[in-house]
Amino acid sequence: MRVMFTALVLLLAGIGTAAAQSAPIKVATLTDGLEHPWSMAVMPDGHLLVSERPGRLQIIDARTGQKRAVAGMPKVRAESEAGALGLALDPDFAGNGRLYLCYSTGWTLSAGNRLSAFTLQDFSLRDEQVLLDDLPGAKWHNGCRVRVSPDGFLYASLGDATAAGGAQDVAYLGGKIFRLNRDGSIPADNPFPNSPVWSFGHRNPQGLAFRPGDGALWSTEHGPDTQDEVNRIVKGGNYGWPLCRGTDPCPGLADYQPAKAEFDHANTIAISDLIFYQGDAFPDWRGDILFVALKTGRLYRLDLDGDRITGHQILIDDDFGRLRDIAEGADGSLYLATDNGEDQILHLTPR
């Protein structure tokens, strides 16, 4: 097992200053030999369930790193940014084995995306229940992050599927964040009648996380060539794409929600998954946002004061290439998935 020590890098620029941290992190390779791992879920027994974009699902032993493929995966459209993408476990997974998976369907000229529920039993997926089908899809901008909220609703993001103008049309399902009951029905208190749409005006949101305490939904979103976003998602909110970007003002756009922060104003970092850290392993980080980035290969930590982002720190700076996904283990240690093509799951513990 390869172990490397990484020094904390403090960035005193941009949106604020962070207090210096005294405890660096230890980074170990839990497992390698993966191909574009996209989404990790920590199972009740501590093992990791990991989707691989080309169309596989693996269960990885969190102690040994041994992996075993899950049978019964649906056929996916694996191309460019499309394939087997976001997954989330049902809150009652330990009893019912139910999980949610967002994946790409069709082929290039009939590209779509689908959100389904499955039962995982004996290393096999069974009983697919399609919850949202024929969602817009493309080679790029498929979104597909999936999360269950603390109050038990199923949320999923979808990119604009390269049809940017559609993001402003609530009847078009690209460029949206959805909210469903976990049986796939539409909650009566969604903002648009009989629609799964919870928020709109998104370009390609690929991170969703609920803040402990108030349950607020936050999201990361890829900007075009600049202005990757960290957003706080509100019911019925318009996040501006393609009319307005980042933290820019957007006069005249009803219900517009500017980003809480952008990374950064002049470049793109290719922002990916985020979490709110809750664990004991890094007590100074409790309540902070952690997120990863593809293009810059960075792990960031954000300081928050309420809804205001007051500073950020770069914890890993391109030591492992592109970083796609982050998950927190029950002991507060962290898992990162790389996205280089020959990929690994990294395990972060206090040094």
> Where along the sequence are the contacts to Ca ion (CB under 5 A)?
239-240
Least distance to Ca ion from the beta carbon of 254, Å?
A: 14
Q: Indicate the residue among 116 and 204 with the shorter CB distance to Ca ion.
A: 204
CA distance 8 to 314: 7
Q: Indicate the residue among 196 and 240 with the shorter CB distance to Ca ion.
A: 240
Beta bridge partners of 9: 314
Burial of 171: CB neighbours in 10 Å, binned 0-12, 13-18, 19+: exposed
Dihedrals φ, ψ of 171, to 5°?
A: -85, -15
Q: Indicate the residue among 250 and 314 with the shorter CB distance to Ca ion.
A: 250
Polymer length in residues for the chain? 351
Dihedrals φ, ψ of 214, to 5°?
A: -95, -5
Q: Indicate the residue among 239 and 335 with the shorter CB distance to Ca ion.
A: 239
**CA 177 → CA 151, 200, 323, 328, distances in Å?**
17, 7, 23, 23
Q: Indicate the residue among 14 and 55 with the shorter CB distance to Ca ion.
A: 14
Least distance to Ca ion from the beta carbon of 239, Å?
A: 4
Whether residue 332 contacts residue 33, with contact meaning beta carbons closer than 8 Å, is answered with: no
Least distance to Ca ion from the beta carbon of 83, Å?
A: 25
Measured in whole angstroms, how far is the alpha carbon of residue 290 from the centre of its chain?
11
Report cis status (omega within 30 of 0) of the bond before 264: yes
Least distance to Ca ion from the beta carbon of 180, Å?
A: 23
Least distance to Ca ion from the beta carbon of 223, Å?
A: 8
Q: Indicate the residue among 27 and 309 with the shorter CB distance to Ca ion.
A: 309
Q: Indicate the residue among 202 and 324 with the shorter CB distance to Ca ion.
A: 202
Least distance to Ca ion from the beta carbon of 301, Å?
A: 22
**CA 113 → CA 22, 144, 152, 174, 340, distances in Å?**
44, 8, 23, 10, 23
285-288 contacts, C-beta under 8 A, 24 or more apart: 287/212, 287/213
Amino acid identity for residue 266 in this structure: A
Query: At which residue do the structure tokens 């599927």 appear?
Result: 161
Q: Indicate the residue among 307 and 319 with the shorter CB distance to Ca ion.
A: 307
Q: Indicate the residue among 186 and 253 with the shorter CB distance to Ca ion.
A: 253
Beta bridge partners of 292: 299
Least distance to Ca ion from the beta carbon of 266, Å?
A: 17
Least distance to Ca ion from the beta carbon of 221, Å?
A: 6
Question: What's the CA angle centered on 185, arms 182 and 189, to 5 degrees?
Answer: 95
Question: What's the CA angle centered on 60, arms 55 and 66, to 5 degrees?
Answer: 115
**CA 259 → CA 71, 98, 227, 325, distances in Å?**
40, 33, 9, 21
Amino acid identity for residue 150 in this structure: P
Least distance to Ca ion from the beta carbon of 196, Å?
A: 20
Whether residue 104 contacts residue 142, with contact meaning beta carbons closer than 8 Å, is answered with: yes
